[in-house]
Amino acid sequence: MRRFQLLLGALGLSNVVDAASTLLSGGTIIAWDDNENYLRIIQNGSVLVTNDRIAAVNSKPLPSNLPSGTTVVDISNQILSPGFIDTHRHGWQTVFKTIASNTSLTEYFNRYGEYFSADKFTADDVYISQLAGIYEAVNGGVTTILDHASHTWSASTSYAGLNASVDSGARVFWAFTFHNITSLNYTAEDQFPLFREMAENKKALLGNSAAEIGIAYDYWGSNPDINEAQTVADLAKEFNVSVVTTHSLAGPWAFSNLPSQVQRFDLLDGSIPVVFSHSSFITADDLQLLRSTNQYISITAESEMQYGHGHPHSYYAQDQAALGIDTHFTYSSDILTQARMWLQSARHYFYNQVLENWNVPTYNPMSVNQAFLLATRSGGLALRRPDLGVIKVGAKADLVVWDAENSPSMLGWEDPVAAIILHANIGDILHVLIDGKFVKKDKKVVNSDYPTIRKNFLQAAKKIQKIWKEIPYPTYEGIFASGYSYGTPQAVDVQRGSGTGFGTQFL
Ligand SMILES: *[C@@H]1O[C@H](CO)[C@@H](O)[C@H](O)[C@H]1NC(C)=O
Ligand SMILES: *[C@@H]1O[C@H](CO)[C@@H](O)[C@H](O)[C@H]1NC(C)=O
Ligand SMILES: *[C@@H]1O[C@H](CO)[C@@H](O)[C@H](O)[C@H]1NC(C)=O
Ligand SMILES: *[C@@H]1O[C@H](CO)[C@@H](O)[C@H](O)[C@H]1NC(C)=O
Ligand SMILES: *[C@@H]1O[C@H](CO)[C@@H](O)[C@H](O)[C@H]1NC(C)=O
Ligand SMILES: *[C@@H]1O[C@H](CO)[C@@H](O)[C@H](O)[C@H]1NC(C)=O
Ligand SMILES: [Zn+2]
């Protein structure tokens, strides 16, 4: 193996400090420069990690005066980037993998969502589905996840999802969801004391893991239960939660939860970050409110395209946006893919404005650097964590090493940002560190229990998928809950003639 490790301390190169230090040595570093407020590329440099943070970013591969006992990991000819930040996911859904490849959002609500699934999952199903899903994300270079944890269907399913998030080793902002689960007679009111119990025991529950506790709530507007919504807002403040998040769709979907509606409960001006997922039909005024309060939207590019959310104005909100995944059982689970899809869809959108006037586009409207920032630093800012998504002194050591030396698809790279955003795939990820600890090493998940986790996950997935296969698909007539009519899109047929068309899913 080309990679080597040695103990510099044993060679007498340093003394002092008994903290755990690792030097990622050599390679091209995509660092962050606070003075320039921009990315800074360092060739053949090194990053010193001490405990959970970045202690030094060096222009030399092997600086002098390293702390004693520093482990040196050779990453020469590789690329070192910050870990990706996913600002919207529902981790519990991993067991649905591939069974909804053709789903639309209306079908999702009626067949895969939190209300429909509530009485069909055990706490063990939630635990293993959440855990396997987080490993999937980590394997793809995602180091921080804002989990809109809509599996809060009982005390045991709630604890199961939080425990899996803690056990995963990833930086999961686990956002407890308040919702009325009619099928189980389990209301938001029943959930308040449970949340309180979890938040009060936060120290014991989270231990020294990278996990955090937040709140998710989807009933701020347009016609809220004022008392319920105010209770949620008050709990967020009482426990100073790490994040509040909401699904904001608006348009014909309703589920508005627009920033101005949330602001009626006085949440946007404080120190708590509030993340508005999708924000497909955000208004110009609402976007200005986000700018003035510095709160963010989460664009889930692939989800919004697959489901048919639309995003008529999201292209203009990119200065106040980060990227997310959403329901990863129906599509990619990694933020690199989101960044690439979003970049190309933004290019398509802005080019079209020129083409619609029968003009010929000159310059390219969006750069790879901007896609990279959305996938990394913007996620940190959305969570009000300037120490996430960047490589700089004092930042959390959440890092990804890309096998830029050996990857056939990256061969010939010069610009490391373009190499990642447009050429790499997650199979090129060599190592992932979270809080300074390796969670993926030499392309393998670091956890001796992972084979058992896979086995238990497959059992749960088989069980859940069997239940779902027996459930008839819904049909749609008349109007959606928002009061707007259903409409049927033109179906694509890639073969001429009749009888093949859409086909069935291979389930
Ligand atoms: C990196 O720097 C070291 C020492 O400064 C040098 O020996 C090595 O050849 C350099 N590597 C590359 C790829 O430039
Ligand atoms: C969650 O973890 C705690 C320990 O932190 C344990 O007491 C509890 O039984 C676990 N609950 C579930 C549902 O896994
Ligand atoms: C639902 O729970 C409440 C108490 O939380 C109880 O008063 C009510 O009878 C229950 N309803 C049903 C249908 O079980
Ligand atoms: C949830 O149910 C309670 C009644 O148990 C009701 O008062 C409340 O308004 C409901 N909340 C929402 C958002 O519908
Ligand atoms: C809430 O926690 C954040 C850190 O997560 C801290 O900066 C802020 O001061 C706290 N706010 C209150 C009101 O305690
Ligand atoms: C997905 O495919 C199934 C059959 O495989 C079909 O019954 C269902 O209506 C399809 N859903 C959508 C949203 O097209
Ligand atoms: Zn969602």
**Domain boundary assignment for the chain:** 2-82+393-445, 84-388
Closest CA to 86 of 350, 300, 319: 300
How do strand 71-74 and strand 79-82 relate by DSSP bridges? Answer: unpaired
Fold of 84-388: TIM Barrel (3.20.20)
Any atom of ligand 3 within 6 Å of the Cβ of 448? no
Closest CA to 206 of 435, 454, 388, 456: 435
What is the atom index within ligand 5 of the atom nearest the CA of 240? 1
Structure tokens at 82: 């910050």
Kindly give the number of the ligand 3 atom that is closest to the alpha carbon of 189. Answer: 5
- Indicate the SS3 state at residue 316: helix
CA 300 to ligand 4 centroid distance, Å: 29
From 2, 41, 42, 44, give the residue whose CB has the most ligand 1 atoms within 8 Å, as the site to mutate.
Answer: 44
Sequence-ordered list of residues with C-beta below 8 angstroms from that of 310, at least 6 positions apart, any chain? 251, 280, 281, 304
CATH architecture of 2-82+393-445: Roll (2.30)
Whose structure tokens read 């203009």?
Answer: 316
Dist. CA 163 → ligand 2 center (Å)? 6
Residue 471 CA to ligand 1 centre (angstroms) = 61
Ligand 7 centroid – CA 314 distance (Å):
16
Atom of ligand 4 nearest to the CA of 188: 1
> b or e along 253-270 (b: 16 or more beta carbons within 10 Å of the residue's beta carbon)?
bbbbbbbbbbbebebbee
Q: Ligand 3 in contact with 188 (CB < 6 A)?
A: no
State if residue 44 touches ligand 1 by the CB under 6 angstroms criterion: yes
Give CA separation, 401 vs 167, 212, 442, in Å.
23, 25, 10
Question: What's 427-443 look like in SS3?
Answer: HHEEEEEECCEEEEECC
Global pTM value: 0.95
Distance CA 29, CA 18 (A): 26
Whose CA is closest to 325, among 304, 295, 340?
A: 304
Q: How far apart are CA 152 and CA 156, in angstroms?
A: 8
Strand order in the sheet with 71-74: 53-58, 46-50, 21-25, 71-74
Please tell me if the CB atom of residue 35 comes closer than 6 angstroms to any atom of ligand 5.
Answer: no
Ligand 1, atom 9: nearest CA belongs to which residue? 44
* Cβ–ligand 3 contact at 185 (below 6 Å): yes
Look at residue 504 in the predicted model and tell me its pLDDT.
Answer: 85
Beta carbons of 289 and 268 less than 8 angstroms apart: yes
Residue closest by Cα to atom 10 of ligand 1: 44
| Strand 38-42 with 28-33, pairing | antiparallel
Under 8 Å between Cβ of 379 and 84: yes
Q: Which ligand ends up closest to the CA of 245?
A: 7
Choosing from 112, 465, 505 the residue with most ligand 6 atoms within 8 A of its CB, the one to mutate for a pocket test is: 505
Look at residue 19 in the predicted model and tell me its pLDDT.
Answer: 67
What is the per-residue pLDDT for 492?
A: 87
The bound ligand whose nearest atom lies closest to the alpha carbon of 186 is 3
Of 429, 426, 425, 455, nearest to 441 (Cα)?
Answer: 429
Q: What is the separation of C-alpha 306 from the centre of its chain, rounded to a whole number of angstroms?
A: 17
Sequential pLDDT tens for the chain (507 residues): 233 333 333 333 343 445 699 999 999 999 999 999 999 999 999 999 999 999 999 999 999 989 999 999 999 999 999 999 999 999 999 999 999 999 999 999 999 999 999 999 999 999 999 999 999 999 999 999 999 999 999 999 999 999 999 999 999 999 999 999 999 999 999 999 999 999 999 999 999 999 999 999 999 998 899 999 999 999 999 999 999 999 999 999 989 999 999 999 999 999 999 999 999 999 999 999 999 999 999 999 999 999 999 888 999 999 999 999 999 999 999 999 999 999 999 999 999 999 999 999 999 999 999 999 999 999 999 999 999 999 999 999 999 999 999 999 999 999 999 999 999 999 999 999 999 999 999 999 999 999 999 999 999 999 999 999 999 999 999 999 999 999 999 888 888 887 777 888 899
Counting ligand 6 atoms within 8 A of each CB, the residue from 102, 109, 307 with the most, and so the one to mutate, is 102
Pick the residue whose CA is nearest to atom 7 on ligand 1. 61
> Which ligand does the CA of 475 lie closest to?
6
Q: Are strands 274-278 and 46-50 parallel, antiparallel or unpaired?
A: unpaired
- Give residue 82's Cα distance to chain centre: 14
Q: What is the CA(105)–ligand 6 centre distance, in A?
A: 12
Expressed in angstroms and rounded, the spacing between residue 444 Cα and the centre of ligand 1 is: 28
